[in-house]
Structures are given as structure tokens and as C-alpha cells.
Amino acid sequence: DKANIGVTGLAVMGRNLARNLARNGQRVAVHNRHRERTDELINRFGNEGNFLATGSLRELVDTLERPRRLVIMVKAGDPTDAVIDELLPMLDTGDILVDAGNANFADTRRREAALADRGVHFVGAGVSGGEEGALHGPSIMPGGSPEAYRELEPILRSIAANVDGTPCVTHVGTDGAGHFVKMVHNGIEYADMQLIAETYDLLRRVLGLGPGEIAETFRRFNTGRLNSYLIEITAEVLGHVDSRTSLPFVDVVLDQAEQKGTGRWTVQNALELASPVTGIAEAVFARSISGQPRLREEASGLPGPSTEPVVDDPERFVDDVERALYASKIIAYAQGFDQIQAGSETYEWDIDLGAIATIWRGGCIIRAEFLDRIRAAYDQTSGRAGLLADDDFREALGEAQDSWRRVVAIATAAGVPVPGISTSLAYYDTVRAQRLPAALIQGQRDYFGAHTYRRTDLDGVFHTEWSVDRSEHEA
Ligand code: NDP
């Protein structure tokens, strides 16, 4: 009686994933570098299902039926390589190694290629939903070979979140595709959180609402098209009162946002792909600025606006803010999905964007009704055109844009920073413009560096003799 799947790495994520597997009828062999975590899992949760505790990777491997299915859930980076290196000599052709940690997709590509040479399937699987998701049903984004996915599919479907009968798991693409998509998911999460935070800041500083009142506003937003896990937890956090001080919790938390790196990876990769994820980039930088006390200290005496803007209709302002948030969110998601499309083309993954929207509807941090609308959009466009080509989103943006502009104007006049909302509006106005000042940039480049330009009225590439007689010739 061997186990049909194994898990090594039993910190909070691995433990909960193992419990989820066992609760769904799998016979799960478990292992952790330090034995204590294994024992704790068995002692506390051993009665939840069929676990086999093992004391070494050797024992773990020997306990698994073949082809072996083995999930690694250890600290991302070097620890993952260490575990793979130790496991590899013990594995046989056809065995499947799943890395469910938050690996960088470039590492996953490297590992997949190395293991493929040895006949072992390596599946980099993005897992989103935090510890609760791992236990009750995450959104799972597996890469790797189609053969490996066929072997894993029934098990993954049984433990994934489920929305309207559809499990939140799909084969994203080969090698690092799964971890790539998980990375962009996290980038979008950064953008979404930043937009919500700006909305809170506006309601507080422009309208003077308290955290409790803003919690109520978000609860109301959550009954409409903004309905999402992130809006829901925002209302919970804002409504929470600190027991030590009896102050709103949000007022006693140090205002320096931390980050573990996936947002930064998203932006780094977007720069490589020339994919303009301005919403995600502003969100990452906003966290960076918040976490630089010296910079903030140096700048703290700088003057703000000499007159405060007057909002004579607070209810209309709240409506405007809701529209600005929704429109900005469309832009941030459109940019993120465009990055996935760019990655898919560059790394030859053939990712189905509608399928990605589908598996993000449940389990993960950005789960929302909104993802259903994105899925519907990709159903219409066959996945190649971006979300801004979709009629419903175009209509929503058009309907929101006056509100969006009023919000950015009032925020600017009030001196309240809204980098996420304003960059989204700038993107909207940039991509819809008939003419861009990029023509002037081309002129400047040609002037100082003879970098050449193309013309609107003639084919070919041209250069102007700026320092001689300003004559033009084909380059
Ligand atoms: P941690 O990232 O804190 O990692 C701790 C685990 O890694 C322990 O089991 C530890 O073993 C093991 N480990 C560390 N170094 C080594 C090594 N050199 N060799 C063998 N084992 C090692 O655990 P989490 O559960 O928080 O996360 C696991 C993975 O899931 C990470 O990749 C994380 O990024 C990812 N993830 C986490 C989420 C979260 O919400 N926490 C959400 C989604 C993904 P030991 O007990 O012996 O020290």
C-alpha cells in the first residue's frame, strides 16, 4: 500500500496542501527536513485522511507508487534546488516532480530543461490563495509537459477551488508557463491593492470619512461590479478596531508596505518584454516609497496645495471614486493579460487567456466576479486582441471616464497621491490618442544621434542633416 502522491516541505503551505490532498481521498506521503513538522502534522491532523509519515527523502521516494508524483513546497530559490539535487538520483524515468512554491519562472525553465534531460517531468505549478487556499482549494497554475499534466490532472482538480462546477486549474503551458502566470497574477494583485488603497485615501482625506464609514462604503461597493475578495477584506481591515489602543487598526499599523518579490519580478519581466504594465509598476514603486523613511523624512516639509478643493456633492464624489476604481482596474488587468500574451508569444507557450481568467475566478487572491467578464471578453475575441478591444469594457471605460478625470483632478488639487489611478487614466488617454508626441521624440533622437525616423506620408527610413542644411534623405 504505497502512497499515490508525496509532499516535502511541511511549513504552512505544504502542510495545508497535504491536508487538502488527504481530505480529498489521496494517500499522501509527507516529509520535512526537520522531522518536528512532520510529527506535528500527523499528531494534529493525522485523522483527516490517509497520511504516511516519512523521515527522509529516500523513505519518501520509496513510499510512492510509480510513476512517482512528488510535490516540493519548500522555501523558493536555493532550497528548491537543494531538494531537487538530493531527489534526482533517486528518481526514475517518467516520475513527476511538482514545484508548488513561488519560483521565478526563469528558474523553472532551467530546472525543467535539466530534469527533462534525465527523463523526469518537472512541473512548476503556481499556487495562489495563501494558507487558507492551500487547505480549502487554491487556484492552481501548472506548467510542464502535457503528459505530466495528464497524470496530475484528476488530483489537481480534486483539490483546487471550484466555481460553478469548474475547478480552478488548467494546464497553462509548457516549462515555466505556470510560474510565469502566477507571477503576473501577483503583479495584478499589487495593482489592485494599490488602487483600493488610493480609493480609501481619497475618501478619507478629501471627504474626511473615518475608517468605519469607509469600511461601509467598501461593503456597498462589494455588492456591485467591484465584488471581490480584495474589496471584502479591505472592508474587514478598515472596520477593525485595535484592542490595545481602541483606535482604528489602520491607524496603528506602520505605513511601510513590504514585498516579497513577485511584483518586482513582474515589472522586471515586463521591461524585458516591452509590455507596459504601468499600473503594476506604480504599485510596486508605491510600496518602495512607503518603505523609505529617510526619503519621506527629507521631503516631509514640502508644501501642499495652498487651497483645498471643495467637494460640494460628497455622494457624487463617492460614485466618481467607484467609477475611477473600476476603470483603473480594467486597465490594470488589461495590462497584466497583455503581459501574459506577450510572454506566451516570446516563450512559445500558447496560453489560453480565457482559461487563465477562468481559473482566477476562485481560490486566488484576485478572485472576483470581474474575472467572469474577462473570460467572456476572451470568448468573444478568440484571445488574441486585448481587453480594450472588448465592447463591454470599452463601454464601461467610456461611461466612467468623466468621473475618472474628476477624481484625478480633485486628488491632484487636494495633494492626495493617486499614482495607480492616474497612471491608468494616462494609459487610457495614451492608447486612444490619434497622435502621440512620440513623433517629437523621434525628431529629437534623429537630431542628436542620427537615429532616423519614418514618415506618415512615405515609405522608408529617413534622416535629416540637422547640423548642415536640414535636408532630408533616405537612410
Ligand atoms: P517557507 O517559504 O517559509 O519555507 C519553509 C519550508 O521550507 C520548511 O518546510 C523548511 O523546512 C523548508 N526548507 C527551507 N530551506 C530548506 C532546505 N535547504 N532544504 C529543505 N527544506 C528547506 O514556507 P511556506 O509554507 O510559507 O511557503 C512554501 C512555498 O510556498 C514558498 O515557495 C512560498 O513562496 C510559496 N507560497 C507561499 C504562500 C503563502 O501564503 N505563504 C502563498 C503561495 C505560495 P524546515 O522546516 O526543515 O526548516
Per-residue pLDDT reduced to its tens digit, 435-469: 999 999 999 999 999 999 999 999 999 999 999 99
Contact assessment for residue 211 and residue 315, using Cβ atoms and an 8 Å cutoff: no
Q: Is the CB of 127 under 6 A from ligand 1?
A: yes
Of 105, 6, 102, the residue nearest 365 (C-alpha): 102
- For ligand 1, whether the C-beta of 383 sits within 6 Å is no
Q: How many angstroms separate the CA atoms of 107 and 80, rounded?
A: 10
Average pLDDT, the chain: 97
Average pLDDT over residues 240-257: 98
Which residues participate in catalysis according to the annotation?
182, 189
pLDDT-based confidence at 86, cuts 50/70/90?
very high
Residue whose CB lies within 8 A of the most ligand 1 atoms, among 7, 13, 84, 135, for a mutation test:
13
Is residue 9 within 8 Å of residue 73, measured between CB atoms?
Answer: yes
Average pLDDT value for residue range 132-136: 97
How far is the centre of ligand 1, averaged over its atoms, from the C-alpha of 156 (Å)?
20
Whole-number pLDDT of residue 379:
86
Whether 426 has a pLDDT exceeding 60, the answer reads: yes
Q: State the Cα angle at 132 between 375 and 43, rounded to 5°.
A: 145
Cα–Cα distance, 98 to 5 (Å, whole number): 10
Which protein residue has the closest C-alpha to ligand 1 atom 29?
A: 101
For the segment 107-133, the average pLDDT, to the nearest whole number, is: 97
**What is residue 382's predicted lDDT score, i.e. its pLDDT?**
63
**Is the shortest distance between the CB of 79 and ligand 1 below 6 Å?**
yes
pLDDT at residue 259, as a whole number: 93
What residue owns the CA closest to ligand 1's atom 12?
74
Among 292, 345, 130, 322, which residue's Cα sits nearest to residue 218? 322
Residue 159: is its pLDDT beyond 80?
yes
pLDDT of residue 69: 98
Q: Whose CA is nearest to atom 11 of ligand 1?
A: 33
**pLDDT for position 381:** 72
Q: Residues of the chain with pLDDT > 90: what percent?
A: 97
186 is in an annotated binding site: yes
- CA–centroid distance, 263 to ligand 1, in Å, is 19
What is the rounded average pLDDT of the residues 353-361? 97
Contacts of 160 (CB under 8 A, 6+ apart): 137, 138, 139, 140, 167, 168, 169, 359, 363
Q: In this structure, what C-alpha cell is assigned to residue 217?
A: 462604503
Ligand 1 atom closest to Cα of residue 34 = 47
In this prediction, residues 61-66 reach a mean pLDDT of 98
Atom 40 of ligand 1, residue of closest alpha carbon: 130
Give the pLDDT mean for 170-189. 98
What pLDDT, on a 0 to 100 scale, did the predictor assign at position 139?
98
**Mean pLDDT value of segment 76-97:** 97
How far is 464 from 453, CA to CA, in rounded Å? 9
Which band of pLDDT confidence, cut at 50, 70 and 90, is reported for residue 245? very high
Q: Would you say the CB of residue 130 lies under 6 angstroms from ligand 1?
A: yes
User: Helix or strand or coil: residue 194?
Assistant: helix
Tens digits of residue pLDDT in 298-354: 999 999 999 989 899 999 999 999 999 999 999 999 999 999 999 999 999 999 999
pLDDT on residue 1:
86
Alpha carbon nearest to ligand 1 atom 32, residue: 101
Q: Is the pLDDT of residue 385 over 90?
A: no
Mean pLDDT of the region 79-105: 97
Neighbours of 244 (CB within 10 A): 6
- pLDDT-derived band at 383, boundaries 50, 70, 90: low
For the chain, the straight-line distance linking the first and the last C-alpha, in angstroms and rounded, comes to: 74
For residues 190-200, give the mean pLDDT: 98
Establish whether residue 74 lines the binding site of ligand 1, counting it when its CB lies within 6 angstroms of any ligand atom.
yes
Expressed in angstroms and rounded, the spacing between residue 13 Cα and the centre of ligand 1 is 7
